[in-house]
Amino acid sequence: MVFGKTESVCPVCLSRLPAQLRSERDGVYMDKSCPEHGSFSALVWEGDMRSYLQWSKRNSAVEAPVSGKTVERGCPYDCGLCEEHKTKGCCVLLELTQRCNLRCPVCFAAAGEASAAELSLEQIAAQYDYLTEHGGPFNIQLSGGEPTVRDDLPDIIRLGREKGFGFFQLNTNGLRLAGESGYAAELKAAGLSTVFLQFDGLDDAVYQTLRGRPLFVEKERAIDNCAAAGLGVVLVPVIAAGVNEDQIGPILRYAISRMPAVRGVHFQPLSYFGRCSLARPQRPVTIPRMLRLMEEQTDGLLHAADFTGGGAENPYCSFHASYRKRADGSLRPLPQRTENGCCCVSSDDSREAVAAQWSGEAESFAEDGELLETAFLDAFLEQARRSTFAVSGMVFQDAWNLDLKRLRRCYICELDPRYGMVPFCAYNLTNAEGRALYR
């Protein structure tokens, strides 16, 4: 049964195509047809049409991008952001290098293959200024490649702080954090807020498949070093069908055992773009499957009903829930705080929520540098924060399931000097042969 219409692209030539949503007994599919390359069908939701429609929060708020680009060819070709985009952005990725100390078989950035020169501090300062002029300050994700291969990473963070940016997230494989004593403390002192740590499971066979070598020992050591420095960590598992779906529950239980150093888990079901050596399955990991597996593999410690879709972004892009850890180790789901079932309905809401949940230890200093005595209320609030655990996920789109309605609400952008702020799924989009639209 066809129940919805949207637009997408051809997975071969990336031409814009009309698409329709079709409900079957085993899920919701996106269908489209290219005059040159034929018809394509992709599973986008495991569940019936009713459950698909119930997931939507119907957020129709529009936050026009600041100084949006004039529309010429239309979505997804004019991103940067264009005037037709529906949000002004929340998080912006700065790709500091294309170098990497791993060569992951599933790297969306194809790190290590490009030979482009790295941006200088002066050029990065210009990027910060561009963001300020286009709706900032945004939450900044320091990315790559592997950003820790740059020895001036602390200087980049300090520079951003001086420019007025208040939240810095490091997207990292953790190798330098694990291997270099004092590095985590150096980054925290520079102003780093949190570490987004690549963490695909508790089994080295998973790392061998997704990252090309065993890594679990290094992951644990990185967490230990961040904990010692008071630097918050979010575990970021890429979940690939047939590879590590059985690791979802163990990852969650491990993360809970490492609180408060570990602030939460942010799942990313594998998207088939960039340097992805795994064949795209007929049934990739969807939001309903993630929620079901979380509930099953934690024996009901988390429940699918605890979760809701995004509010500021398109609801089909993400899922999230927050919990309070009780003294007996059980989790109490925290209530959603707005009418649409989500705490975030604008880009500014999202910036604040991410910064509050994922940052590490907060310290208050007097003018002479001495720690201030914490009042009883402050202590209570800090304890509440330290016992809060966030579980979320982002379902990025590829050329097979790209929905331009979703893309127009994207609030995670990549900053590229050639184009401006490009939505993540457009910037990393590649066709079936790996040809990129923007990269």
- How many structural domains comprise the chain? 2
Q: What is the dihedral of CA 89, 210, 193, 135, to 10 degrees?
A: -10
Question: Do 116 and 33 have their domain in common?
Answer: no
Question: Do 20 and 143 have their domain in common?
Answer: no
Is there a domain that residue 434 lies in?
no
Question: Do 179 and 243 have their domain in common?
Answer: yes
Question: Do 13 and 161 have their domain in common?
Answer: no
Question: Do 41 and 127 have their domain in common?
Answer: no
Question: Do 200 and 315 have their domain in common?
Answer: yes
Question: Do 22 and 121 have their domain in common?
Answer: no
Is there a domain that residue 403 lies in?
no
Exposed (0-12), middle (13-18) or buried (19+): which is 185, by Cβ within 10 Å?
middle
Question: Do 47 and 190 have their domain in common?
Answer: no
Residue pair 174/219 in contact by the 8 Å Cβ criterion: yes
* pLDDT reported for residue 190: 98
pLDDT (tens digit per residue) in 213-263? 999 999 999 999 999 999 999 999 999 999 999 999 999 999 999 999 999
Residues 44 and 286: their CA atoms lie apart, in Å, by 7
* pLDDT reported for residue 50: 94
Is there a domain that residue 412 lies in?
no
- The CATH number of residue 251's host domain is 3.20.20.70
Q: What is the dihedral of CA 5, 6, 8, 10, to 10 degrees?
A: 20
Question: Do 240 and 162 have their domain in common?
Answer: yes
Residues of the chain with pLDDT under 50: 339-344, 346-347, 362-381
Is there a domain that residue 359 lies in?
yes
Residues 426 and 410: their CA atoms lie apart, in Å, by 10
Is there a domain that residue 436 lies in?
no
Is there a domain that residue 193 lies in?
yes
Question: Do 51 and 128 have their domain in common?
Answer: no
Checking DSSP bridges between strand 106-107 and strand 275-276, what pairing results, if any? antiparallel
Is there a domain that residue 266 lies in?
yes
Question: Do 111 and 165 have their domain in common?
Answer: yes
Question: What is the domain range of residue 387?
Answer: 91-363+373-394
* pLDDT reported for residue 408: 94
Please name the helix (run of DSSP H) or strand (run of DSSP E) that holds residue 279, with its range, or none: none
* pLDDT reported for residue 114: 61
Is there a domain that residue 81 lies in?
no
Question: Do 44 and 99 have their domain in common?
Answer: no
CA 66 to chain centre: 23
Alpha-carbon distances, residue 2 vs 29, 51, 392, 417, 436 (angstroms): 9, 15, 30, 41, 31
pLDDT (tens digit per residue) in 65-96? 999 999 999 999 999 999 999 988 889 999 99
Residue pair 38/10 in contact by the 8 Å Cβ criterion: no
Place of tokens 């219409």: 5
pTM: 0.90
